[in-house]
Structure 1
């Protein structure tokens, strides 16, 4: 937990946040993408493969897996929940805006609520019933909170923080089942990635060229340089600075593709950004290591 209060963590969070904001501004106000595509594009530009590649790199290059912790936690506790919120809200808005979608509010005065109960507007006019739009917004908010708090990635991260704060260790036998399940994460992510590449080119979604170029440039070039500048400004040098920059040079995470598939937005961009930045990762990391 002490790593979270370090200058290394601050450098990681500042550089990642700046990259995410730059991607968001360009995608939304220059390329004029809708919120769903902006969110996936922002993740493709700022969400790195700190789990599968980052931990291994931290052990191999730095001799300490803790170097990947600030990046992992910022992504899982900040970027992911914000992305889920925006994607859920956008999906709800798209549902409301589609004239072909008929809901209970449009056809029945008994408005179905989330738990299956109904509410009818009073016949004596003494109180106004909530508007259909407001009711749908309330449902969307509750669904977003529920999705965030039940997301296994976020729950796992929070559980890890709680266990790290406890003054005692759980028995090894308790961790056994979790280790078995966790061991499938990397293979399943790679299988998902390979399946997305195996789809014939004529049938799969194409990534918009400007969006892909933006994600690749931010991911492979801008982020490492920015991380080096921020780390230097905060007084980091040697292994500490190398750790921050190496984590910033990692490719786009496969989680982004999983999120894109889940929400049906930006799958082509997530897939292609993951592929291109992974190919560029080796030369970029070699350059970072040689310079720092």
Structure 2
């Protein structure tokens, strides 16, 4: 019960920062472009620093824990389910459908995943495989599709060069490389005076993204677009209900996990959609309202789902 209460406190902290962004926009601090500036700075600077700082310090074997198999296939399944449902019922364009798929499968592994892993699961390193999976696999694919569908240009060279345009992936791969090197030589090779500024920049990523998300709420009414509501509800159910069920089935009956590992797989699968999805949507100006509503609704319902999982499995 203590761990669950601590996790709810983590959700409260996140809500306060989102409200701070909302108040900032309401008071017109920073002007009308403040939200977009925060999005761009977090996309190109602070998020890559955060990924590098976290992964470079993480033991390489923890980064590639076998639970990544559960995280990958449960996320892939709900993403494909959304695309199928979109084709049958929602009929969104390619860019908006990509945002919807990301909203369904992308876990908030930083802002909420780290405190949940710390307060409920007792091991923040459990989110490391999810960080790698999302940044090395799903994010480059999704952003390549967004890049092509929003620019109207495509070529083999453009697709192959796409990972070089993903600062998050570059930061993540750099962190993994340093982690592997540290395991090989027996000590952390980055001097403190170099690591510290990277880490300080990275620490600003979470509040920056959350504040930008809060700014996006001001002046808009959630779920105002009635035609998009079924898709938003679908995303939330896929993310907070279907994905944990799939994770449970895979972890228990395919991977043979039990105890704390099984519990961790299911709890992490119930994390809400990550604010990074809105960051990507804003970056490519595709499905921004849809992304915001899906993140907001899944963030509101996620604590309830995690509480139920804790009651059933902890």
Cα deviation digits, residues 231-273 of structure 1 (max 9, x gap): 0011111110111111110011000001111111111111011
CA distance in 2: counterparts of 1:250 and 1:10, whole angstroms: 17
Aligned residue number for residue 70 of structure 1 = 129
Q: Deviation of residue 4 (structure 1)?
A: 5.2
CA distance in 2: counterparts of 1:198 and 1:206, whole angstroms: 19
Aligned residue number for residue 243 of structure 1 = 264
Q: How does 1:175-214 map to 2 (within 5 A)?
A: 175-201=195-221, 208-214=228-234
Aligned residue number for residue 170 of structure 2 = 155
CA distance in 2: counterparts of 1:205 and 1:191, whole angstroms: 23
CA distance in 1: counterparts of 2:146 and 2:205, whole angstroms: 23
Aligned residue number for residue 262 of structure 1 = 283
Aligned residue number for residue 55 of structure 2 = none
Change (3 A) 1:192 1:58: same
CA distance in 2: counterparts of 1:34 and 1:227, whole angstroms: 29
Cα deviation digits, residues 45-86 of structure 1 (max 9, x gap): 110100111111111112211110121111111110001111
Normalized per residue, the structure richer in helix is 2
CA distance in 2: counterparts of 1:254 and 1:5, whole angstroms: 24
Q: 2:110 is paired with a residue of what secondary structure? A: helix
Q: Deviation of residue 5 (structure 1)?
A: 4.9
Aligned residue number for residue 291 of structure 1 = 312
Structure 2 residue 244 is matched with structure 1 residue 218: no
CA distance in 2: counterparts of 1:160 and 1:28, whole angstroms: 38
8 Å CA contact retained: 2:140, 2:166: no
CA distance in 2: counterparts of 1:21 and 1:213, whole angstroms: 16
Change (3 A) 1:273 1:158: same
The two structures have a TM-score, normalised by structure 2, of: 0.74
Structure 1 runs, 4 residues or longer, greater than 6 Å off:
204-207
8 Å CA contact retained: 1:28, 1:35: no
Aligned residue number for residue 248 of structure 2 = 228
